[in-house]
Chain A
Amino acid sequence: MRVEILSAEGKNISFPIPEFLADNPISLRLAASKISEHSPLRFTARDLKVILHTIKAYKRENGGDLLLVDVESSSGDKVKIWI
Chain B
Amino acid sequence: MAQTLGKRISDSRKRKGFTQDQLAEEMGVSSQAVSKWENDISCPDIGLLPHLADFFGVTLDELMRGDQEKVAQVIPESERKDPNKMIMRIRVLSADGDKVNVNLPMALVKMGLQSGMLDSMVGGNENLKGIDFDSLVHMVEQGAIGKLVEVESADGDLVDITIE
- Chain A residues close to B by CB (< 8 Å): 39-43, 47, 50-51, 54-55, 57-58, 61-62, 66-74
**B111:A50 contact, CB within 8 angstroms:** yes
- Report 17 cross-chain contacts, Cβ distance below 8 Å, ordered by A residue: A42-B120, A51-B117, A54-B105, A54-B107, A54-B108, A54-B111, A57-B107, A58-B105, A61-B84, A62-B85, A67-B101, A67-B103, A69-B102, A71-B101, A73-B97, A74-B96, A74-B98
B contact residues around A74 at 8 Å (CB): 94, 96-98
Count chain A CB atoms within 10 A of each CB in B85, B104, B123 and give the residue with the most: B104
Interface flag for B47 (CB, 8 Å):
no
B contact residues around A54 at 8 Å (CB): 105, 107-108, 111
**A55:B108 contact, CB within 8 angstroms:** yes
**B99:A41 contact, CB within 8 angstroms:** no
Encode contact with A along B71-97: 1 for CB under 8 Å, 0 otherwise.
000000000000011000000001011
Known interface pairs A58-B85, A71-B99; 4 further A-B residue pairs with C-beta atoms within 8 A, sorted by A's residue number: A42-B123, A50-B117, A54-B108, A67-B101
Choose among A40, A61, A62, A70 the residue that contacts B123 (Cβ–Cβ < 8 A): A40
A contact residues around B130 at 8 Å (CB): none
Interface flag for B2 (CB, 8 Å):
no
Choose among A40, A47, A70 the residue that contacts B124 (Cβ–Cβ < 8 A): A40
**A47:B100 contact, CB within 8 angstroms:** no
User: How many B residues, CB 8 Å from partner?
Assistant: 23
- Chain B residues close to A by CB (< 8 Å): 84-85, 94, 96-105, 107-108, 111-112, 115, 117, 120-121, 123-124
**A71:B111 contact, CB within 8 angstroms:** no
- In the complex, the 4 A-B pairs of residues with the closest C-beta atoms, listed nearest first: A74-B97, A58-B105, A70-B101, A40-B124
Choose among A39, A50, A51, A68 the residue that contacts B103 (Cβ–Cβ < 8 A): A68
B contact residues around A55 at 8 Å (CB): 105, 108
Distance (Å) between the CB of A83 and the closest chain B CB? 10
**A51:B123 contact, CB within 8 angstroms:** no
Distance (Å) between the CB of A68 and the closest chain B CB? 6
With A and B bound together, what is the CA distance between A39 and B125 in angstroms?
10
For B117, the closest partner residue in chain A by CB is A47
